[in-house]
A and B are shown apart, each in its own frame.
Chain A
Amino acid sequence: MFYGTDLTSRLMLGTAQYPSPRVLRDAIAASGAEVITVSLRREGPEGGAFRDILAASGCRVLPNTAGCHTAREAITTAQMARELFGTRWIKLEVIGHADTLQPDPFGLVEAARTLCADGFEVFPYTTEDLVVADRLVEAGCQVLMPWGAPIGSGQGLRHIDALRAMRAHFPGVALVVDAGIGAPSQAALAMELGYDAVLLNTAVARSLDPVAMARAFGQAVAAGQGAHKAGLMPPRDMGVASTPVFGMAELA
């Protein structure tokens, strides 16, 4: 559950960098995504025409604070987003490093506290650091969004053991791998780990055929989710024959 909202598709899509709004619309439809995220910092209130297109997709809009480098900027952007989209949901990004786009955990926790207290339902973009995650939950976040890898890098799940530990540490919190996913197999892997959703943008938007790639990601996320629910077999050290050896007919 994401702040009381249940989602069938566990793929969340970013809306930047698509060749056109029409391709974006078709990609959303092909992926089956029910949540799309959109930035506001640079577009400002004058980005109304594009926002109307997003609203027409029928998806739930998760506005984000991409491009914000301080808690204060992020809080102001979140307030503008609430007004423009009429939603309490906010994907909170406070960027701490210009090159890796790594979140600034200090600004993030500060902004999360203020926004949660102000009635926002915060989806914080964070690292896999458990202490930061604890602080975010304390601040009132019911969803955590650890990165897989730096935004737009396509490196997949860089610290997979840390992501496993996070899943184990927060059994009751909705966890979303956000950023760094480059291939459907990586998205499937995140879901197999028991994550609740995957959020990505570049891997679809900048592919040669965004609609086909969106569909592939939708299928991968569903496959990973289904596999996790069904209970993955544990790896074993030895081969285990799937048919019995004893009692077979002697044909010679």
Chain B
Amino acid sequence: MISVLGAGVAGLCCATALVEAGHRVELIDTGAPPVSRLAGGMLAPFCEGDGAPETVVTAGQASVDWWAARVPGVTRRGTLVVAPPRDSAELARFARATRGHVAVDPGTLEPDLAGRFARGLFFEAEAHLDPVAALAALRMALVETGVPVRDGPARGRIVDCTGIGAPLPDLRPVRGEMMELHAPDVALTRPLRLLHPRFACYLVPRGGGRYMLGATMVESGSTAGITARAMMELLSAAYTLHPALAEAEILTTGTGLRPSLPDNLPAIRHDAGRIHVNGMYRHGFLMAPVLATRLARMMTKEMQDAH
């Protein structure tokens, strides 16, 4: 029996991949809401190439198909990256830092942006999903295949997917702040990224006029609510994307701590008899399937070697 500890995106992906590889698995859920519910849910390996190492770009591409095969609602409409006219140098820089894009007139892809931005970058192969719905779908599928979900101490072989709570000495928190808007007047169909030297943001459509607006990156372990500064910066960036977003209803705000390793790269670690799948940083939905697949392969080999 393998105990997967933690029911966020890392835990659910690991449990799913292990079950699919034929392992007996139980899921330990302490009931604490996972931070991955607050994620953007962008499956954007090419955009993440700005800053992330090449392995995120290459390995992450597989995750679009992984999710699409297991949960409903994976939308393949690419990502649109824009910059205000006076920050057009940012767009040139982003184009140099990434690949898999073509230059577009943003209005041809998103009519609501017509006339607002002269140029944009379109990353056609990218996709997005709704994190809350995707996590629920994975969990339900596990329960339906007979995986026990319980609270309490882990036993057997332990796969620790508890994020920032895990006992890894070099794990650090990177605080993120986000909000969800209801803006039925605005029709945008794919994730948008606004480049700005200070107030960057992204907007991910959730359907029904709802949008996720994110996200700050602060080297802090504070779990306090969203700061006024973060809210002002995110909202003013959203206003730059489309002024009608100023009329949006703010549905929720959220803050969470991204578990991050020194290279900001998700990893499988062996420590004190446990296997850790951690360090998702800002790549949870993109990289958890990659690590889960790797973990399942590793544990299958481990079992075969034991026999």
Contacts and interface: CB of A to CB of B under 8 A. Distances in A.
Contacts of B51: 19
Contacts of A44: 220, 222
Contacts of B299: none
Interface in A20-43: 20-23, 25, 42-43
Contact of B218 (A42, A202, A206): A42
B20 to A, nearest CB: 31
A22 B221 CA distance: 19
Contacts of B219: 43, 47, 49-50
B262 A53 contact: yes
A208 B96 contact: yes
A20 B264 contact: yes
A206 B220 CA distance: 21
Interface in B231-289: 262-265
A22 B170 CA distance: 11
A182 B97 CA distance: 17
Nearest to B281: A20
A167 B140 CA distance: 70
A20 B220 contact: no
B197 A19 contact: no
A152 interface: yes
Interface string B195-227: 001100000000000000000001111100000
B220 A47 contact: yes
Interface in A32-74: 42-44, 46-50, 53
A22 B264 CA distance: 8
B190 interface: no
User: Which 6 pairs between the two chains have the least Cβ-Cβ distance?
Assistant: A49-B172, A50-B219, A20-B264, A46-B222, A19-B51, A22-B263
A46 B93 CA distance: 32
B165 to A, nearest CB: 14
Contacts of A22: 262-264
Given A21-B262, A25-B262, A50-B220, 7 more contacts: A20-B263, A42-B218, A43-B219, A44-B220, A46-B222, A47-B218, A202-B197
Nearest to A20: B264
B52 interface: yes
Contacts of A25: 262
Interface on chain A toward B: helix, strand, loop, or mixed SS? helix
Interface residues of A, number: 19
B220 A46 contact: yes
Nearest to B97: A208
B229 interface: yes
Interface of B: 51-53, 93, 96-97, 172-173, 175, 197-198, 218-222, 229, 262-265
Given A53-B172, A206-B93, A47 B265 contact: no
Given A19-B52, A19-B264, A50 B222 contact: no
Contacts of A20: 262-265
Contacts of B97: 208
Contacts of A53: 172, 262
Nearest to A206: B93
A152 B197 contact: yes
A77 to B, nearest CB: 14
A34 B202 CA distance: 36
B229 A42 contact: yes
A33 to B, nearest CB: 19
A152 B200 CA distance: 14
9 contacts: A20-B265, A42-B220, A43-B218, A43-B219, A46-B220, A47-B220, A47-B221, A49-B172, A49-B173
Contacts of B262: 20-22, 25, 53
A70 B290 CA distance: 47
Interface string A234-249: 0000000000000000
Contacts of A46: 175, 220-222
Contacts of A47: 218-221
Contacts of B197: 152, 202
A213 to B, nearest CB: 13
A49 B52 contact: no
Contacts of B218: 42-43, 47
Contacts of A23: 263
A42 B93 CA distance: 26
B52 to A, nearest CB: 7
Interface string A185-225: 00000000000000000100010100000000000000000
A44 B218 CA distance: 10
Nearest to A210: B51
A226 B221 CA distance: 43
Contacts of A50: 172, 219-220
Contact of A43 (B53, B93, B96, B220): B220
A48 B174 CA distance: 11
A183 to B, nearest CB: 14
Contacts of A49: 172-173, 219, 221
Contacts of B173: 49
Contacts of A206: 93
A49 B51 CA distance: 20
Contacts of B263: 20-23
